[in-house]
Structure 1
């Protein structure tokens, strides 16, 4: 009984953050940690309240663009140095790792991405802006007498966040920089990162009526999308199917990121690139490598990759050496079983295992899997699970159609013509040569520029 009382006393009770400040509700969602033990109670904001908040956001004038950029830069310092929910940054990152099962090193990397983005928030809007447009926020009198302004297409931007990686919260900061009012619906898996970020932004000077955090159920999340002008929505294939024909919704669904290894490429380097991509963010990121297409001896490549990935040892998420995701044992067993069930007609070079971890609850890690497919046309090449799982298939250089439908397509090859051909595939967002699918650079958009979705060129002619 004493232990239970101590656990309840240590649980976080996280409110929503509305236009008038913290907002607590009688209805709360219990959030379990990676061991299956409830660790957080999260307020669940009802639809009528969220709808009213969106009306308030829409009526609020945003901070001027120049002033907002300075505020966002200041927010990076607040995020790193101030206590939120009683935690400094180090304690916060450990709490996120324990809650989500994401390795601590990954949480640190993602938080560094968030603060880097805050400090360099002018970069993305500048990169996305058409050359013929004056910068966002340009006064009409200072614009060319005949030209174009880069302007918002709407006022309120909604974010239905994912919980697979804290780094997703670096994505929507650009919307604030562009003058949008933003409503963030956090994932139930990780409400801690967005709460810390929104709190830091408000403390730095973002008006509460320009940015709200609205935890809620799925029905209310749908309402947020409907009541907002633009929305960034994360989810699985069911979410993609639901919103695929909506021009006001930017979807972040399964990445199905792939690597191609041609016969002329260095084999050992190709295995290394595949391993790095497969283990990226514990295999849970949309840019982690899901499929590998090999031109010469795919069976041998699969065996070599399996031998390399087999060295990834299970560890508690708070261990600095952890590279694999952790979750309740029952969830881990379901995931491993789902992969083995789908692979029953394929060649399993490395079967996923569920490794129980020491400690309270039922936390377990899922070890990597490598499965060889007979054809690049096999639908399993794009089957994603939230742990390192790679499907290897043969590649024929004359047919690049199997490469389409990839968030990231990496080609380990010296054939520039093949890279150029791959770059023309309509359903490929990013094309890399000789890099893991997880490679990142501040000048390379994740999935196109967010500004292209939020902004438009508006013609302008005026008397000089």
Structure 2
């Protein structure tokens, strides 16, 4: 088995306790270090004691890291071998892994060069001092020093999310998912090779108790997880949650039917159906039953394939896990109409590697909780849509609307529990200028008032606060 160490402030750290990580067939694949809490606490103290990478060096270093990630061997693997290993380990289709790694390197090249879109127009850039600012104004400053990342294993692309924090001067603690520790290991090694000091970022595989400790000892945290994790941290202002997306598509009566089917199919298959932006619910205003049947026919054509196959689009996992997922959907469906039943399809060879095929289930009402029941494979719940009940769309990471009705779009955009609203695009659509779930920089930074000049006197303002006048 491949031995994956932790990456501490002084280099690779191999622990006596290791976690055996199985591949997508259930066979042992990796021996992963497990860092104890006392060691992680010491690492965080070391990160906090060291200054951040100078802003003037960030773009060059991160750009070099992208080249290292793409071109150099790390842990004995070039990029192609690494991507094949990740696909075999996680069951994520190889084309998805490749796309995610491209996202990581694109982000490395962009995030250090371009100012963050989250920076208010009234704020000077990061690192500005009072003497560099206008006589009175503001600078964009960190709200802390150490940023913790509890990474998910459903997609390597999650590691593109935290790179902005590094560019903004945070020191980073990455707690990788046991499902995929390889992507974080390659990325952090590439960053260190490019010139980021080890005292700026560490990789700390650990158990759940130590993971909680990392959140407590850090200033800000990005945490991925299911509804149980959301419930645990929902009241924490210092934790940014990435939970279930429950992304939805609305196909209004004025929409082109074929376009709606294409957008629904594309969104359902996003990242093999495992991404939070994958379409979970589809609400159809005209003939939802017919739409569900047509979508089932389209998704039913998707073939199961080995994750290393260039044509693979479905997730793979051990047979027992696949059977549990299909049983869960069919069990919850109850009296709903199952237009396309999910199947656990064995792929042969060593182990019990199994693909899970798509599911399409028609619900009688958009208020059925199953409309937001997210599964880690392409599973779509179709329900009727009524324009007077736009509240059923709330609580969606991405809401896609296929309509020309501006009033409907305005009403949907006004829903406070919706993060992204797209018109005529799949829920899986992305763009560098469009935030995934709000801008990360808005969570990490704040405006800090700055002023300098000649003799100043204070006065009491109308609200009883101290004001400045020259």
TM-score range, shorter chain: over 0.9
2:240 counterpart (250, 273, 277): 250
Counterpart CA distance in 1 for 2:113 and 2:318 is 40
> Which residue of the partner structure matches residue 300 of structure 1?
290
Contact 2:281 2:380 in 1 (8 A): yes
Counterpart CA distance in 1 for 2:123 and 2:286 is 48
> Which residue of the partner structure matches residue 33 of structure 2?
43
> Which residue of the partner structure matches residue 464 of structure 2?
none
TM-score, length-scaled by structure 1: 0.97
Q: What's the CA shift for 1:86? A: 0.2
Match of 1:72, SS state, is helix
Question: Where do 1:216-255 residues align within 5 Å?
Answer: 216-255=206-245
Match of 2:26, SS state, is coil
Counterpart CA distance in 1 for 2:429 and 2:177 is 25
Q: What's the CA shift for 1:193? A: 0.4
Contact 1:161 1:187 in 2 (8 A): yes
In the alignment, does 2:8 pair up with 1:18? yes
In the alignment, does 2:137 pair up with 1:147? yes
Larger gyration radius, structure 1 or structure 2: 2
Q: What's the CA shift for 1:49? A: 0.2
1:106 counterpart (73, 96, 106): 96
Count residues in correspondence: 454
Once the two structures are superposed, what CA deviation does each residue of 1:167-214 show, in whole Å capped at 9, x if it has no partner?
000000000000000000000000000000000000001110110000
> Which residue of the partner structure matches residue 407 of structure 1?
397
> Which residue of the partner structure matches residue 423 of structure 2?
433
TM-score, length-scaled by structure 2: 0.96
Counterpart CA distance in 2 for 1:170 and 1:424 is 29
Contact 1:21 1:208 in 2 (8 A): yes
Q: What's the CA shift for 1:124? A: 6.7
In the alignment, does 2:105 pair up with 1:132? no
Counterpart CA distance in 1 for 2:64 and 2:71 is 11
In the alignment, does 2:334 pair up with 1:344? yes
Match of 1:209, SS state, is helix
Match of 2:269, SS state, is helix
Please report the RMSD computed on the Cα atoms of aligned residues, expressed in angstroms.
0.9
Contact 1:161 1:168 in 2 (8 A): yes
Once the two structures are superposed, what CA deviation does each residue of 1:201-234 show, in whole Å capped at 9, x if it has no partner?
0000111011000000011000000010000000
Match of 1:275, SS state, is helix
Question: Where do 1:379-390 residues align within 5 Å?
Answer: 379-390=369-380
Question: Where do 1:253-268 residues align within 5 Å?
Answer: 253-268=243-258
Q: What's the CA shift for 1:125? A: 4.3
Match of 1:327, SS state, is strand
Counterpart CA distance in 1 for 2:419 and 2:42 is 36
Q: What's the CA shift for 1:128? A: 0.7
Counterpart CA distance in 2 for 1:454 and 1:316 is 40
After the TM superposition, which segments of 4 or more aligned residues of structure 1 sit over 4 Å from their partners? none
Counterpart CA distance in 1 for 2:407 and 2:112 is 35
Q: Return closer, same or farther for 1:234/1:421 CA change in 2, 3 Å cut-off.
A: same
Q: Which moved more, 1:163-172 or 1:417-426?
A: 417-426
> Which residue of the partner structure matches residue 6 of structure 1?
none
